[in-house]
Amino acid sequence: MFFEGTEKKLKLTVSEPNVSLRALGFDFWQLVVNRANAEIISVISNDHCDAYILSESSLFVWDKEVLMITCGRTILINSIQVLIDELGVKVFDSLIYQRKNEVSPELQKTTFQQDIEVLQKQLSGSFYRIQTVDSHCHHLFVHNPNKQFQCFELLMYDIDTKAICNLTETNVDKRFIRALLEIDVLFKDYLIDDYLFSPFGYSINGIKEDEYFTIHVTPQVPNSFVTFETNLSDTERYQQIVQKLLVNLNPKFWDSIFINTNLPHTYFNLDKHTIAEITSENGINVKYLHYQATEK
Amino acid sequence: MFFEGTEKKLKLTVSEPNVSLRALGFDFWQLVVNRANAEIISVISNDHCDAYILSESSLFVWDKEVLMITCGRTILINSIQVLIDELGVKVFDSLIYQRKNEVSPELQKTTFQQDIEVLQKQLSGSFYRIQTVDSHCHHLFVHNPNKQFQCFELLMYDIDTKAICNLTETNVDKRFIRALLEIDVLFKDYLIDDYLFSPFGYSINGIKEDEYFTIHVTPQVPNSFVTFETNLSDTERYQQIVQKLLVNLNPKFWDSIFINTNLPHTYFNLDKHTIAEITSENGINVKYLHYQATEK
């Protein structure tokens, strides 16, 4: 029953006034998704954004920004290649490509190193790798970073056994998972789209004006994994969300990744953590924190 | 008997054909050293380099490169300011400023953050911070990195008790320490200068053509600390040196820092470690590894 919940991520911004990424339309984005070996399952939209649930994770498209997250055995680099071919790198304002080390890297079609070789033939960029003492490893490739792109990511590993038992019951339904994640409390004004995979797995996208959040649940033990990502910038709401997720899911390890955001991380201080911070002269700030929960 | 062995480091290169850093002369470099609140103790020279033993660590000056290392309560940023004022930033080809978190940061005259604010008013640059789960923290400021500057650093913490007992005996002499460090075996063709501090502490500089090595020993428990740095590029010799130092000093923790060098680190794999790797598009590659020795 193994499923690789580990994600690859693309964050792309364009500045060309004549280019609207949304206006490229459903068929274009379906092609992009299919090239990664994924499928579009559903879509919600508001005035700012189209948010797609994919067979493996999510895609958000704004006029000038794209966030594409894929997991499983997808080949996100192939989707990036479509964007390079169709749009041309000249319209790219910034590109961030992230890849976490997989639970079963031997099942992946490409390595991060191979992906980077493809990108570096077409784009200049800096490359960062952070590997913690317990072998969690994050890779980041950054082309021409743009301070405007900001997000917060929370990656939770080894979820609480009780929560996992509930998530893997055969009759679990979406309402139960939304309640466990306290979606109605934490994201009450958001337009929501969620999907329950068979036999396991759950994805939810939410949008509110130009804000997004997305949560992906891979409950299969021994590699249970839940990811949360958002571009919200309100410190109080961020702290409330993170605390609720950590309390409800009670992971043994987790990563917090801050890209171009000043959201605080001080209230995690009780737990052992590793920090890497990068502030490049051309504008990006990435803070990566890996936590090991204190013994309870 | 506390002494802050933790080091601050400056690596500066110039490319201006008319500028020779060595030709600036002893008086100039004495001024630079004094501005950090340190003194020159002795100097050795060959056709490529002047190597100074300082009251706190070392200074190496080549025609186009400077490596300045200071420890204790020195203010290395003040020396950098002299170089900016006297040379002008236009002749700087690249600048790397490193600072490890101190054992007693409250005794330092400035923080790294304050140092960076001084530098960023005068130089563009990227800033990196790596903090491990056991709170070892490295700061790196990089202006216009130059692939030509390459070095390897080994920082060893909590040295073996037997070695420390020998190093802190009242009648310890330089020959004993050179034997402990196997200097005659590992660096047999080098021009050597070493100095024994009172009551404790030992520094050694070695040069051979344009190669350098430097070792600084702070034996005071509970914060015993030995650092090694070199620009040698021979993989076999590097492996021999690192293995000898680790075996003879048997530290509980150590850092390996690789700047623009392809020296391997794979043979450390038996120990738990954290890795951060930075490869910027303008040329620098820094690999930082923090090791915890396995229990013996």
Domain boundaries, chain B: 8-292
CB of B130 within 8 Å of a chain A CB? The answer is yes
Task: State the pLDDT at residue A266.
Answer: 63
B181/B108 Cα distance (integer angstroms): 30
Cα B158 to the chain's mean position, in Å? Answer: 18
**Cβ-based burial of B267 (10 A; exposed 0-12, middle 13-18, buried ≥19):** exposed
Q: What is the mean pLDDT of chain A?
A: 92
Contact yes or no for A130 and B290 at CB 8 A? no
Q: Determine phi and psi for A289, rounding to 5 degrees.
A: -125, 130
pLDDT tens profile B108-120:
999 999 999 999 9
Q: Which residues of B touch A276 (CB under 8 A)?
A: 128-131, 276
Nearest to B71 by CA among B42, B27, B103: B103
Residue A133 has pLDDT above 70, yes or no: yes
CB of B125 within 8 Å of a chain A CB? The answer is yes
Q: Are strands A211-218 and A40-45 parallel, antiparallel or unpaired?
A: unpaired
Task: State the pLDDT at residue B74.
Answer: 97
Query: Min CA distance, B225 vs chain A (Å)?
Result: 22
**Cβ-based burial of B244 (10 A; exposed 0-12, middle 13-18, buried ≥19):** middle
First to last CA, chain A: 29
CB of B175 within 8 Å of a chain A CB? The answer is no
Q: Which residues of A touch B273 (CB under 8 A)?
A: 133
B204/A67 Cα distance (integer angstroms): 53
B266/B262 Cα distance (integer angstroms): 11
Nearest to B129 among A129, A277, A290 (CB): A277
> Are B172 and B195 spatial neighbours (Cβ–Cβ below 8 Å)?
no
Which residues, including other chains, have CB under 8 Å from residue B247's CB and lie 6 or more apart?
none
pLDDT in tens, chain B (296 residues): 799 999 999 999 998 899 999 999 999 999 999 999 999 999 999 999 999 999 999 999 999 999 999 999 999 999 999 999 999 999 999 999 999 999 999 999 999 999 999 999 999 998 999 988 888 999 999 998 777 789 999 999 999 988 888 888 888 899 999 999 999 999 999 999 999 999 899 999 999 999 999 999 999 999 999 999 999 999 999 999 999 999 999 999 999 999 999 898 765 555 678 889 988 877 789 999 998 877 65
pLDDT tens profile B234-281:
999 999 999 999 999 999 999 999 999 989 876 555 567 888 998 887
**Residue keyed to tokens 């033993």:** B53
Is the ipTM, as predicted for this complex, more than 0.90?
Answer: no
Cis geometry, peptide bond prior to residue B199 (ω within 30 degrees of 0): yes
Residue A254 has pLDDT above 90, yes or no: yes
Nearest to B226 by CA among B292, B164, B138, B273: B164
Task: State the pLDDT at residue A283.
Answer: 75
Query: Min CA distance, B129 vs chain A (Å)?
Result: 5
Task: State the pLDDT at residue A281.
Answer: 77
Q: Which fold has domain A8-292?
A: S-adenosylmethionine decarboxylase (3.60.90)
Q: For residue A39, give both structure tokens.
A: 């499928």
Nearest to B277 among A128, A273, A290 (CB): A128
Nearest to B80 by CA among B55, B40, B116: B116
Single pTM value for the model = 0.91
Q: Kindly state the DSSP code that residue A31 receives in the 8-state scheme.
A: H
Which of the residue ranges A13-27, A225-239, B138-152 would you say has the lowest mean pLDDT? B138-152
> How far apart, in Å, are the Cα atoms of B253 and each of B107, B157, B161, B250?
23, 5, 14, 9
Q: Which residues of A touch B276 (CB under 8 A)?
A: 128-131, 276
A50/A39 Cα distance (integer angstroms): 15
